């Protein structure tokens, strides 16, 4: 008889996952995945440690939720590089006034390859 798999293992073949907070956003990460987060100062190849872990699921299906962060939990990764997101266009117009204004921006993101999740 085969051992029972958790729902994450059955769906994606993943043993452990974590939800981290980076740049005000929440990102679900697994070991070996590549995630894109808001830009931070790091050179490609540099190892980074993220200790703002909000939620964690271990091998046996045990789940740990932080208040607000899980104690002694860390996610380690290696910076792959930087990339730029899509160009965002903001167009404002007031009818019958001749007012038209176009603004825009393009955010820079950092790619991180997750190497491990530690509790």
Residues spanned by the domain of 42: 7-82+111-118
Rounded CA gap, 104 and 90, in Å? 5
Query: What are the backbone angles phi and psi of residue 118, rounded to the nearest 5°?
Result: -120, 145
CA 16 to chain centre: 15
Q: Tens digit of pLDDT for each residue in 70-103?
A: 999 999 999 999 999 999 999 999 999 999 999 9
Residue 23 domain-assigned (yes or no): yes
pLDDT in tens, 8-52: 445 545 578 999 999 889 999 999 999 999 999 999 999 999 999
CB-based burial of residue 112 (10 Å sphere; 0-12 exposed, 13-18 middle, 19+ buried)? buried
Evaluate whether residue 42 is within a structural domain.
yes
pLDDT for 13 equals 54
In a domain, 11, yes or no: yes
Q: How many domains does the chain have?
A: 1
For residue 28, which of 9, 53, 6 has the smallest C-alpha distance? 53
Residue 63 in tokens: 């789940």
Catalogue the E-assigned strands of the chain: 17-22, 25-30, 34-38, 47-50, 53-57, 63-65, 74-84, 88-94, 99-105, 108-118
Task: Note the Cα 24 to chain centre separation in Å.
Answer: 10
In a domain, 106, yes or no: no
């Amino acid at each position: 008889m085969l051992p029972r798999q958790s729902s994450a293992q059955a769906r994606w073949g993943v043993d452990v996952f974590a939800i981290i907070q980076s740049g005000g956003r929440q990102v679900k990460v697994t070991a070996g995945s590549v995630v894109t987060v808001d830009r931070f100062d790091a050179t490609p190849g540099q190892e980074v440690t993220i200790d703002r872990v909000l939620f964690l699921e271990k091998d046996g299906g045990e789940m740990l939720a932080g208040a607000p962060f899980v104690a002694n939990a860390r996610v380690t990764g290696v910076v792959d590089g930087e990339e730029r997101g899509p160009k965002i266009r903001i167009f404002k117009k007031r009818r019958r006034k001749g007012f038209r204004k176009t603004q825009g921006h393009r955010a820079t993101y950092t790619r991180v390859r997750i190497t491990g999740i530690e509790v």
